[in-house]
Chain A
Amino acid sequence: MKVTVYSTPTCPWCVRLKEWLKQNKISFEDMDVSKNEKAAQKMVEKSGQMGVPVTEIDDKVVVGFDVTALKKLLKLK
């Protein structure tokens, strides 16, 4: 399973999302869209919106820190 998080360093929900992933022992790639403009464009294209955080799990996208949706896609209980 490939997990990518698009985030900004100053967004409180991004911090919580990443902490949550770590707690659940999910390894992920962190894209800082405040520095990486290409990643920012990719995030907007993939999620169809401009807010962070966005989590990409294989080819599915979760907008925001939506625990229910994340758990389902990550197959967590």
Chain B
Amino acid sequence: MYDLIILGAGPAGLTAALFAARYRLKTVVIGKEIGGQANYASVVENYPGIKSISGADLIKIMKSQVTSLGVKIIEENITNVTKVKEKQIFSVITEKNSYQAKAIIFALGTERKKLNLPEEEKFLGKGISYCATCDAPLFRNKSVAVVGGSDSAVMSAMLLSKYAKKVYIIYRGKELRAEPIKVEQLKKTRNIEIIYNAEVQKISGKNFVEKILLTNKKTLEAQGIFVEIGSTPSTYLIQKLGLETDNQGYIITNNAMETNIPGLFAAGDCISKKLRQIINAAGEGATAAFSAYAYLKSKKNS
């Protein structure tokens, strides 16, 4: 039996683990991918203390900070989480095992949104990619398009511009919503062209992506499409637990990171909030760990 199980091993989960270990809670972290979405950030330049670092390298440091305090990180897929009411404990079921704890921090982040086009599956890996950090070098001297207008979209476009001969950004809005400093850098990059007020209507090609038809009736010749149209929380476990959410499915917490379920705290990209960055995910993870610590202490004394 653990004091605390942290679900998710991204910046929120890892920071929660760091604090929980310092509070000497018997803690374990369970997540399918250490780092989560942060792994896919090619550069992080807004995390104070470190001027510039890749998301994957930042996660490596966070991970070693956690494991050096003796907290185990278990890489398993979580299939169910239940609250055993009469005992006031939680049970976490993975594909392989089950784990019990007195408190839970839910930090399972979000899942990437897909374009939802019928031909998307066919071209997956054949031009369509969800990871510019991984696949950008394979598009040397080719033309590519990035769909989206967020920080991730702009970062992907900047990375791709180093390899591809031409990078289009296709964005449905009329102004990119990435940080202005990133947009400034982007606009200085010669081989990037931004197409506003447009979405992808159809992708075509024989075996690989060759053409992209846009909703504004324009056709782009491109061999690659990088999808960066945001993400949504994975609703399955949230609904199963009966966590209160906003209308987009994000978990509602108060400023102590408490949810509507006593003993269950939430942090990171999966909660209802305005800004989704590594820095505030980490901060929420710290707060959640502190609140779990206070909760366990009050239960012990009652």
Does B134 sit within 8 A of A, measured CB to CB?
yes
List 30 A-B pairs, Cβ < 8 Å.
A8-B134, A10-B42, A10-B56, A10-B133, A10-B134, A11-B131, A12-B56, A12-B134, A14-B134, A33-B137, A33-B138, A34-B137, A35-B137, A37-B140, A40-B138, A43-B138, A48-B207, A49-B125, A49-B126, A50-B125, A50-B126, A50-B127, A50-B129, A50-B139, A51-B131, A51-B135, A51-B138, A52-B134, A52-B135, A63-B125
Q: How large is the interface on B (under 10, 10 to 19, 20 to 34, 35 or more residues)?
A: 20 to 34
Q: Which residues of chain B are near A63, meaning CB under 8 Å?
A: 125
Q: How large is the interface on A (under 10, 10 to 19, 20 to 34, 35 or more residues)?
A: 20 to 34
Q: Do B207 and A52 touch (CB < 8 A)?
A: no
Q: Which residues of chain B are near A10, meaning CB under 8 Å?
A: 42, 54, 56, 133-134
Tell me the smallest distance from the CB of B158 to a CB of chain A, in Å.
13
Tell me the smallest distance from the CB of B136 to a CB of chain A, in Å.
8
In A14-69, which residues have CB < 8 Å from any B CB? 14-15, 33-35, 37, 40, 43-44, 48-52, 63
Q: Which residues of chain A are near B259, meaning CB under 8 Å?
A: none
Q: What string of 1s and 0s marks CB contacts (under 8 Å) between B113-139 and chain A?
A: 000000000000111010101111111
Q: Which residues of chain B are near A50, meaning CB under 8 Å?
A: 125-127, 129, 135, 138-139, 208, 224
Q: Do A12 and B127 touch (CB < 8 A)?
A: no
Does B33 sit within 8 A of A, measured CB to CB?
yes
Q: Which residues of chain B are near A11, meaning CB under 8 Å?
A: 131, 133-135
Q: Which residues of chain A are near B140, meaning CB under 8 Å?
A: 37, 40
Does B152 sit within 8 A of A, measured CB to CB?
no
Does B40 sit within 8 A of A, measured CB to CB?
yes
